[in-house]
């Protein structure tokens, strides 16, 4: 590992890319440290710790809500826009054709539509966030002009971070948006560790050791499941053209255990926290029946057991749903048949599609259970160990490990490519 790091900084081209990424991340953290005026930091901290929706939004925005910075929305609207565009591919055949069949040019246009959709989503999200913060006395009341300025600043901050992320993807190493989220999550760890050290007592030592051991086990499990895949053996028929023979090779089709990634958790958390968010809005309505409904919604979804069970079920269901969106066994079977490939013992065409669908359904069961357990991990850790300061959310943990693994793969690919160039 250290030899690869040394080699990484020894190659001028790769060294420039790494320094460029570090410079962009530094700019991001500087922007995240500039707060908007009129914020009560203590009230904001209490609000974020008591509101699960904005706690998750803070994770996906890269920690920019900790002090309500000028980039308060982070990359959240862009992520939402990307998810909406991917879901629209199921409804609009033209978008599906653009994304899957038109190559790099089609995906470039698809991404452009995602960027355009980010603007109205950022305006709507900034307005809702400002209303809630003012209602919870985190922000001082604003005039109409103040609302407009704050919404434009928040939207501009989102577009600025989106641009920084695309610069990293284009000129650096790794996925820019993922690295921005990763930097925001990791930046909060020193504060959590310091908070736990200040409140340390000798009675906490067994719980801390057990917590560290459990964290290592969970990280190892995340790595195993994220990297796990089922290899389906594929053979290609021999073809003779002129005096040459083509094909006759054997390879494999990889089916990942966690085909959906972290997307099911995003979908599930958006749905399960939506009733609580509506309850927070309705709590200010001067009507007894509406306020009773608001209190009922808030009390039900603040119950940890009910929240954990519903959350697990939604993550489980959305894992199958998103896997069906992103992986089409019929299209894979058609491509194999066109290229002269076949799975041993399975006829090409529809039988191959049914076989792949059956295998994918079985291995997705493991991935769905894993994602559900990771999603409810913070509830279990808090309930068993009673440690809140060091609790790293399951979603955040999954993002951190996935980004590290993906970045390491890209660095290894860059090093291997340089070795071939030297040869």
Q: Residue 272's domain spans which residues? A: 202-392
Which tens digit of pLDDT belongs to each residue from 293-321?
777 776 766 667 777 788 888 888 888 88
Q: Are residues 85 and 53 in the same domain?
A: yes
Judgement on whether residues 217 and 92 belong to the same structural domain of the protein:
no
Q: What pLDDT, in 10s, does the model give residues 323-371?
A: 887 788 888 888 888 877 788 778 888 888 888 888 888 888 988 888 8
Q: Pick the last residue of a domain from 134, 160, 187.
A: 187
Q: Looking at the structure, do residues 109 and 224 belong to the same domain, yes or no?
A: no
Do 178 and 212 sit in the same domain of this protein? no
DSSP SS3 for 386:
coil
Average pLDDT, whole number, for the chain?
77
Banded model confidence at residue 52, pLDDT cuts 50, 70, 90: low
Residue 312 or residue 266, greater confidence: 312
Is residue 402 a part of any domain in this protein? no
Nearest-angstrom CA–CA distance, 408 and 416: 12
Q: Is it the case that residue 38 has pLDDT exceeding 70?
A: no
Residues 152, 206 share a domain:
no
Number of domains in the chain: 2
- Mean pLDDT score, 258-263: 76
Residue that terminates a domain, selected from 187, 222, 257: 187
How confident is the model over 168-223, as pLDDT tens digits? 888 878 788 888 888 877 777 776 677 667 776 777 777 777 777 777 877 887 78
CB 235, CB 342: distance < 8 Å: yes
Please say if the pLDDT value at position 403 is more than 60: yes
Residue 122 shares a structural domain with residue 212: no
Inside any domain, residue 421: no
Residue 171 lies in a domain: yes
Residue 362 has a CB neighbour count (10 Å cut-off) of 11
Q: Which of 157, 187, 217 is the last residue of a domain?
A: 187
Element holding 150 (H helix, E strand): helix 144-171
Tokens of 413: 């690919």
Are 136 and 87 in contact by the 8 Å Cβ rule? The answer is no
100, with CB counted inside 10 A (0-12, 13-18, 19+), is middle
Same domain, 106 and 163: yes
Are 46 and 89 part of one and the same domain? yes
306: CATH: 1.10.3370.10
pTM of the model: 0.75
- H-state helical runs in 188-262: 189-198, 205-227
Residue 192 in domain: no
| pLDDT more than 90, % of the chain | 2
How many angstroms separate the CA atoms of 165 and 79, rounded?
12
Those residues whose C-beta lies under 8 Å from the C-beta of residue 223, and which sit 6 or more positions away, are 401, 405
Closest CA to 215 of 369, 381, 372: 381
Q: In this structure, is residue 419 part of a structural domain?
A: no
**96 in a structural domain:** yes
227 and 181 belong to one structural domain: no
Query: In terms of domains, do 183 and 207 share one?
Result: no
Residue 235 lies in a domain: yes
- 117 and 227: one domain? no
Q: What is the per-residue pLDDT for 231?
A: 85
Sorted by sequence, the CB contacts under 8 Å of residue 114 that are 6+ apart come out as 78, 81, 82, 85
Q: What does R_g of the chain's alpha carbons equal in angstroms?
A: 24
Q: Are 330 and 256 part of one and the same domain?
A: yes
Per-residue pLDDT of 111-133, as tens digits, reads: 888 889 999 988 888 887 787 77
The answer to whether residue 12 is domain-embedded is: yes
């Amino acid at each position: 590992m250290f030899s690869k790091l040394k080699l990484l900084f020894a190659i001028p081209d790769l060294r420039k890319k790494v320094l460029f990424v570090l410079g962009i991340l530094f700019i991001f953290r500087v922007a995240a440290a500039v707060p908007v005026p009129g914020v009560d930091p203590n009230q904001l901290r209490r609000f974020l710790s008591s509101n699960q929706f904005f706690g998750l939004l803070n994770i996906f925005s890269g920690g920019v809500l900790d002090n309500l910075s000028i980039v308060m929305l982070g990359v959240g609207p862009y992520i939402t826009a990307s998810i909406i565009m991917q879901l629209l591919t199921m409804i609009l055949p033209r978008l599906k054709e653009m994304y899957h069949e038109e190559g790099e040019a089609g995906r470039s246009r698809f991404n452009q539509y995602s960027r355009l959709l980010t603007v109205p989503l950022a305006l709507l999200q900034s307005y809702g966030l400002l209303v809630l913060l003012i209602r919870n006395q985190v922000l001082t009341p604003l005039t109409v002009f103040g609302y407009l300025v704050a919404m434009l600043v928040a939207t501009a901050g989102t577009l600025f971070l989106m641009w920084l992320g695309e610069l990293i993807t284009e000129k650096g190493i790794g996925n820019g948006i993922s690295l921005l989220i990763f930097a925001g999550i990791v930046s909060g760890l020193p504060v959590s560790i310091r908070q736990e050290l200040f409140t340390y007592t000798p009675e906490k030592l067994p719980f801390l050791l057990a917590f560290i051991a459990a964290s290592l086990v969970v990280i190892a499990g995340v790595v195993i499941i994220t990297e796990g895949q089922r290899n389906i053996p594929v053979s290609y028929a021999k073809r003779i053209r002129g005096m040459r023979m083509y094909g006759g090779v054997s390879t494999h089709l990889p089916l990942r255990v966690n085909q959906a990634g972290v997307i099911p958790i995003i979908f599930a958390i958006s749905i399960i926290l939506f009733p609580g968010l509506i309850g927070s809005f309705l709590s200010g309505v001067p009507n007894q029946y509406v306020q009773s409904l608001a209190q009922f919604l808030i009390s039900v979804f603040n119950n940890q057991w009910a929240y954990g069970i519903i959350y697990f079920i939604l993550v489980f269901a959305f894992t199958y749903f998103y896997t069906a969106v992103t992986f089409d066994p019929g299209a894979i079977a058609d491509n194999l048949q066109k290229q002269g490939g076949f799975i041993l013992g399975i006829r090409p065409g529809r039988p191959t599609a049914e076989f792949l669908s059956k295998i994918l359904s079985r291995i997705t069961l493991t991935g769905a259970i894993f994602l559900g357990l990771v999603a409810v991990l913070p509830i279990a850790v808090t309930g068993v160990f009673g440690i809140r300061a060091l609790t790293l959310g399951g979603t955040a943990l999954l993002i951190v490990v996935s980004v590290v693994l993906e970045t390491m793969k890209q660095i290894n690919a860059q090093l291997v490519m340089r070795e071939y160039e030297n040869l």
